[in-house]
Chain A
Amino acid sequence: MSIETIAKAIGSILQDTYSRNYGLSKGFNLMEKEIALSSYHLLMRYADNDEDKNEIIATMIHMLSAPFSDHEIDKITQYVREIFFKQYPDEAKRVWLALIKYSNYKKANPSFYRYQDEDSLNKAEENEEKFVQQISSDKNLTLDLSEISLEKSEAYLLARAFVITPYDTDDKDFSNFLNHILPIVIGDLTKVEDYSYNRTRESRKFHHESISDIEQYLANLFLEANFENSKSIFTTLVNSLSGNAQRQRFGRDDLFEFVSTTLDYFVLKLYDNGNLKIDP
């Protein structure tokens, strides 16, 4: 009964979020939103068969791709990285790998607003759900870095995968992913921002919200990860400016902003942590 209550609440929360909170659902108390979305490790504890585990993984993928507000997504990604990954590393890695695969699917099958009639929209939604179920139940997903690029992956999902990546494990997949994706983000920040829906190949793919999440994430990584693991990431970040001698003459220099904001966060978090004992 308790599991049912939590699952139902999570279902209502995700439904509300995907419909952009247009209808205020009475399926859950708003005060319990964060509590419900950080209970997956408890649900996993009671999942005694593969089917239940796959269902939890599928729900987590839906959660990690949902359009939550900035402060909500910060808490969600922190929960996945710091609590869920520590308690259920194997299942968490499956979520992580599936999210990366999902980013490929979303890139190949862009959003629903492109569909003109209801039938093709329903069919597209059905196919997408089938895909999510399929990747959620696949225990043999592997990391293929050659499939991770802005030409082949949807940027906002890659950014979500980026910020749930754990940095305190010996699993090389995670450090390889981080070392692969950071140069992609840096390269993208030298492109021009384009706010129209008709995005050309050369325009910026990572949105401001994603970049802001990544800045926070990297600051935490520098603060907490073993230096052996973070050294190469730090070097890539700092060196990105020296290779980019031709600075933008007009408007903001977003790459410069990215590097300096990340380092600012790092110093501020270090200061808070040392003096005020505030957790990063």
Chain B
Amino acid sequence: MILWNIWLTQDYFEKQNTILTYSAVISKAYQKEEVISYEKWSECQNYYTNPENLDFLYSIPVTLAILALREFSDDISRRTET
């Protein structure tokens, strides 16, 4: 039981870490501190497609969506907008 809890905690922290890493990439691109490629943007978008990866406090899907409209106007309207 104790061992199970340790694994659970480790999983939890790993997931939080991934969520925060994606948020940092998106945030820096939004602030124009770093350039984001279309491939990286797609990777973030795919990650957020799974509702389990959406954290109420730390995920920033709206910022990612705005980034799409701002940075990849042609690309994204052609490939993902319906």
A residues apposed to B, CB below 8 Å:
1-3, 5-6, 9, 26, 28-29, 31-32, 35-36, 39, 42-43, 45-46
Distance in angstroms from A7 CB to nearest chain B CB is: 9
The answer, among B30, B56, B58, B65, for a CB contact under 8 Å with A2, is B65
Q: Does B5 contact A (CB under 8 A)?
A: no
B73 and A28 form a contact (CB under 8 A):
no
Distance in angstroms from B80 CB to nearest chain A CB is: 5
Nearest residue (CB) in A for B59 is A29
Nearest residue (CB) in B for A26 is B56
Contact count band on B = 20 to 34
The answer, among A1, A26, A28, for a CB contact under 8 Å with B62, is A28
The answer, among A1, A28, A29, A42, for a CB contact under 8 Å with B66, is A42
A1–B81 Cα gap in the complex (Å)?
Answer: 5
Q: Does B70 contact A (CB under 8 A)?
A: yes
B56 / chain A contacts, CB cutoff of 8 Å: 26, 29
Nearest residue (CB) in B for A4 is B65
Q: Does B8 contact A (CB under 8 A)?
A: no
Q: Name 19 extra pairs, CB < 8 A, besides A32-B62, A35-B63, A46-B77.
A: A1-B80, A2-B64, A2-B65, A2-B66, A2-B69, A2-B80, A2-B81, A5-B61, A5-B62, A5-B65, A6-B62, A9-B62, A29-B58, A29-B61, A35-B30, A36-B62, A36-B66, A39-B62, A39-B69
With A1-B81, A2-B81, A46-B77 in contact, do A32 and B63 touch (Cβ < 8 Å)?
A: yes
A29 / chain B contacts, CB cutoff of 8 Å: 56-62
Distance in angstroms from A53 CB to nearest chain B CB is: 15
Within 8 A of A (CB), among B10-30: 30
A43 / chain B contacts, CB cutoff of 8 Å: 69
Interface pairs (19), CB distance under 8 Å: A1-B80, A1-B82, A2-B65, A2-B69, A2-B80, A3-B69, A3-B81, A5-B61, A5-B64, A6-B62, A6-B65, A29-B62, A31-B60, A36-B62, A39-B62, A42-B69, A42-B70, A45-B73, A46-B77
Chain B positions 45 through 82: 1 when the CB is less than 8 Å from some CB of chain A, otherwise 0: 00000000000111111111110111001001100111
The answer, among B60, B64, B65, for a CB contact under 8 Å with A3, is B65
A177–B22 Cα gap in the complex (Å)?
Answer: 47
A28–B54 Cα gap in the complex (Å)?
Answer: 10
Distance in angstroms from A13 CB to nearest chain B CB is: 10
Most buried by A among B57, B66, B77: B66
A1 / chain B contacts, CB cutoff of 8 Å: 65, 80-82
Distance in angstroms from B47 CB to nearest chain A CB is: 14
A45 / chain B contacts, CB cutoff of 8 Å: 69, 73
Nearest residue (CB) in B for A42 is B69
A6–B69 Cα gap in the complex (Å)?
Answer: 10
B82 / chain A contacts, CB cutoff of 8 Å: 1
A31–B69 Cα gap in the complex (Å)?
Answer: 19
Distance in angstroms from B59 CB to nearest chain A CB is: 6
Nearest residue (CB) in B for A36 is B62
A5–B68 Cα gap in the complex (Å)?
Answer: 11
A39 / chain B contacts, CB cutoff of 8 Å: 62, 66, 69
Nearest residue (CB) in B for A5 is B65
